[in-house]
Structure 1
């Protein structure tokens, strides 16, 4: 069997000042890759080596100025794709900012804003928004035309789940964590839901139902993934509109400065209905009920009748 031809070794002339010849083998070099640089350290919210104090509202107001473009100066966003932050517990906001910063809650926009924040910055921003009041929206009270909930007002389906859940499907009552008035729970940092945009809430519930949580390890949000797993599309939309109109009675707009018309002083033909705060059902969810419109019309008629009955400038 023929042997492979052996190529002769190439010998070059020695370099100046050297007596050793240089071969192609001795000239070969091996490239050494550069070591990967360590990523920038992340200051987590619960880092035991970082001293963090309760948030300062005044300091947080200045730090939250950049948030106003999307979330509103007072945390009441106009665009429903951006959540309202007003009234959210301080620790909840701080925790979410920490998750955005580490990338555990994926959101490129929020990660860029959270990247330069310290743990104290996060608490200060949280304190500012916690001091603000969320403005309630209006719940959808149109009648459901067909399906298992036919005849019910649209928000009532969500109201039932919010207050009682559905044990047969393993759905706990929302108010168990978020409070009966949807104000959240500052202790375990459960978010406020009252007044939140229905579009935003529905989007998040659909995300959870699809199994798309966020966080890692102890921060992983598995609770909402489990809660939303059995919700129907109608239930998600109904829950979203219910919490948008949800508000505490104490948060209602103050009564008008105009003199109130007392029932005893109502003129003949008047209704005697006094000026009232915005209409609510017993749950505290504002509605666009036609009956409420009738109340407003009656109030206006009573006011006009009272003005007609008042003495003129000459005492007639």
Structure 2
């Protein structure tokens, strides 16, 4: 628990620094719309896709979308579908796509009632006897995350996708991401969660507004 607490403090300090004003390149949402043809099969026309195992990227922070595309292109994060797609993208392409999808509205679905209560407790308070910190600390009360710090929006995300990411952090299958501290923290958290706890917190988070 002490190690995870230290990581939380360090990540929080990075959040403050990341939130300071800075000149960053930005994308053009209209230009991005014209570059979405290859994305539609998995993510739909507006980033809400119909396949639960694929992430909803509508309304996601543009900084986070762009960072993940860069990681897929560089090999810091690997996915059999996304890595080849990102390989052909320029930095401006990534920024434009990120701007377009960020401008779209996420289609929200109700949380699974039978799991929501257990998931709510984990999200808000963690699992004290396992040393698992609360998800709310980084992702906020509504799951909106923090774009400047590259904490993704997870509220309203597909429960199936969230559960799979926790499983992949635990197994090591999600071994990439350029955000090393965040990856390390998520890996340590997921390692302590049971399959039932992952399913519950994913179900609750998917219903956050």
**The two structures share one fold, judged by TM-score above 0.5:** yes
Aligned-partner SS, 1:87: coil
**CA apart distance, 1:217:** 6.8
2:54 is equivalent to residue 82 of structure 1: yes
Could you tell me whether the CA contact under 8 Å between 1:80 and 1:198 is conserved in 2?
A: yes
Could you tell me whether the CA contact under 8 Å between 1:88 and 1:184 is conserved in 2?
A: no
Could you tell me whether the CA contact under 8 Å between 2:68 and 2:177 is conserved in 1?
A: no
Q: Which of 112, 127, 132 is the matching residue for 1:171?
A: 132
TM-score normalised to the size of structure 2? 0.82
The 5-angstrom pairing of residues 85-234 of structure 1 reads 85-142=57-114, 154-215=115-176, 219=180, 221-234=183-196
**CA apart distance, 1:86:** 0.8
Structure 2: tracts of 5 or more residues without a match: 1-22
Could you tell me whether the CA contact under 8 Å between 2:143 and 2:205 is conserved in 1?
A: yes
Rounded to whole Å, the distance in 1 between the matches of 2:66 and 2:60 is 10
Counterparts in 2 of 1:124 and 1:216: CA distance versus 1, 3 Å = closer
2:202 is equivalent to residue 240 of structure 1: yes
Match of 1:252 in 2: none
Rounded to whole Å, the distance in 1 between the matches of 2:102 and 2:207 is 19
**CA apart distance, 1:158:** 0.8
Could you tell me whether the CA contact under 8 Å between 2:71 and 2:177 is conserved in 1?
A: no
Could you tell me whether the CA contact under 8 Å between 1:56 and 1:123 is conserved in 2?
A: yes
Q: Which has the larger share of helix? A: 2
Rounded to whole Å, the distance in 2 between the matches of 1:130 and 1:216 is 20
Q: Deviations over 1:183-210 (max 9, x none)?
A: 2211111111122111111111111122
**CA apart distance, 1:52:** 6.7
Could you tell me whether the CA contact under 8 Å between 2:119 and 2:204 is conserved in 1?
A: yes
**CA apart distance, 1:179:** 1.6
Counterparts in 2 of 1:216 and 1:111: CA distance versus 1, 3 Å = closer
**Higher Cα radius of gyration:** 1
Structure 1: tracts of 5 or more residues without a match: 1-50, 143-153, 248-316
For CA contacts below 8 A with separation 6 or more, give which structure has more relative contact order: 2
Rounded to whole Å, the distance in 2 between the matches of 1:169 and 1:131 is 38
Match of 2:44 in 1: 72
TM-score normalised to the size of structure 1? 0.56
**CA apart distance, 1:243:** 1.3
Could you tell me whether the CA contact under 8 Å between 2:169 and 2:175 is conserved in 1?
A: no
Root-mean-square deviation over aligned CA pairs:
1.9
Q: Deviations over 1:114-135 (max 9, x none)?
A: 1111112111111111111111
Rounded to whole Å, the distance in 2 between the matches of 1:196 and 1:82 is 10
Q: Deviations over 1:224-244 (max 9, x none)?
A: 101111111111111111111
